[in-house]
Structure 1
């Protein structure tokens, strides 16, 4: 009974996440807000540190990946080793991609980042050995490589800010410092929760469920980002404006229903003449008459 209730709640959670993600492309987006852009015009280095920390703490895809990385790590040295590899990776692309204005559609970059979340959940479940009969790729190299991708995603967001006057390099470095501060805060919270959870009997029982959820959420995020990419490429057909966006999707649903109904044979109903328009008739009393 308890297992059935838990499963029902699990599927309800997935359905809720999917609904939220596809209600609007702006929901769950962790890009730079208009307030951030205005603040950045005359922002100093401390402001860029705060922007970097805030962006990391709201970067659900980055946090999910980090959660997957440290999920089974218990030794402090291992945690430092893997997080350092990730940090070096994302710092390289964050700094150099921003400095040299290397750009890409941020929805596509975030879609790839979502796949890294799926990958880590799959690797945590020993999916390579279980389904392909091979050992997982070197985790250290993969974490470093995925760090490069995450850093490029951070760079696409930073490049949305008007850098204004002053040293661009120092502002980039300040933003990166903020990212690291936010990362440390998030990791601290995660480690406290995981250390406490590992002491309970439910950790082993639900660790598979937790990493399966990572894969599912990563997949939903991937579809969500592709959905956002569609809006940037076909802006005339899919406006970002929330009201227009909702109307577009309502029209798409109605069109889909219409296409489905078109495949069903339709009965041709011949309209019957109304009593006011027909010829001689009777109402059951045997008396024929006309109107």
Structure 2
């Protein structure tokens, strides 16, 4: 019975890593922003809604969760877990509250790229990279986790500042969001801790621990490349094949193709279906003051 449970846990852990990689590969995971639905709901939201939003945002923050998973990976003593998680919590609470309160922001792709580097760093540390490749002791983990918490909190703040927060009750809104983040973090850490505690009892933990951390590092690297690519799009939009005008054409075509009869030929004179419709003359137009052209 116990062996069966452990086997299932091993499967879940491996599946978790692959799901994480697949999630990062999707466009929605480039920068885990807030959906249009969340942005609309928050306009007249109360403090409980900010708590809910903070919790769901943390649970959908794959980069944050992956970093925490790396921190938890080899921790076995409850005191150590509390120490490091407290350092991380204090760090991200500081920047989340104060950066949002004072309107300090940065390009969120760039911030998320740095967060991806923290994932790579923790996996490198778990693999003994400092000792093996740099011939040095690992930096003090407590201070590093605190510093990385500051970075992660800044990333959360850039997302929160995308919402129309207003000025009434701003501090309580920020604190409510942070409370939600902490609740989401507790839920995620509880699941991670339970899985790791069961997995460590099986010999496969020793066999797959190295491969797991290599996978974490590769996933962090993939996320880093994606965030840097997103940053390039925001800073140098004209350097990509789809410039602003072409991009608008693509969306126009997509909207046209959504119509049920968009691809159904019609007789232009009678308005009835025809097997041999007359071609339309292309309409000359321009976008945002660009050059006149036709499709």
Q: Which protein is bigger by CA-based radius of gyration?
A: 1
Q: State the match for 1:95 in structure 2.
A: 97
Task: Write the distance in 1 (CA, Å) between the matches of 2:227 and 2:25.
Answer: 10
Q: Is 2:201 aligned against 1:199? A: yes
User: Which deviates more from structure 2 when the two are superposed, residues 161-170 or residues 81-90?
Assistant: 161-170
Gaps spanning 5+ residues in structure 1: where? 1-9, 248-291
Alignment of 1:102-251 (within 5 A): 102-164=104-166, 166-238=168-240, 244=247
What are the superposed Cα offsets for residues 8-49 of structure 1, whole Å, 9 maximum, x if unpaired? xx9xx98x948x75664x445311111111111100000000
Task: Write the distance in 2 (CA, Å) between the matches of 1:17 and 1:113.
Answer: 16
Q: State the match for 2:77 in structure 1.
A: 75
Task: Write the distance in 2 (CA, Å) between the matches of 1:52 and 1:183.
Answer: 10
Q: Is the 8 A contact 2:31 2:108 kept in 1?
A: no
Task: Write the distance in 1 (CA, Å) between the matches of 2:142 and 2:112.
Answer: 21
Task: Write the distance in 2 (CA, Å) between the matches of 1:84 and 1:65.
Answer: 14
Task: Write the distance in 1 (CA, Å) between the matches of 2:53 and 2:243.
Answer: 24
Compared CA separation, residues 82 and 17, structure 1 to 2 (3 A)? closer
Normalising by structure 1, we get a TM-score of: 0.74
Query: What do you get for the CA RMSD once the two structures are aligned?
Result: 2.4
Aligned length: 231
Gaps spanning 5+ residues in structure 2: where? 1-13, 251-295
Structure 1 consecutive aligned stretches of length 4 or more whose deviation exceeds 6 Å: none
Task: Write the distance in 2 (CA, Å) between the matches of 1:92 and 1:83.
Answer: 14
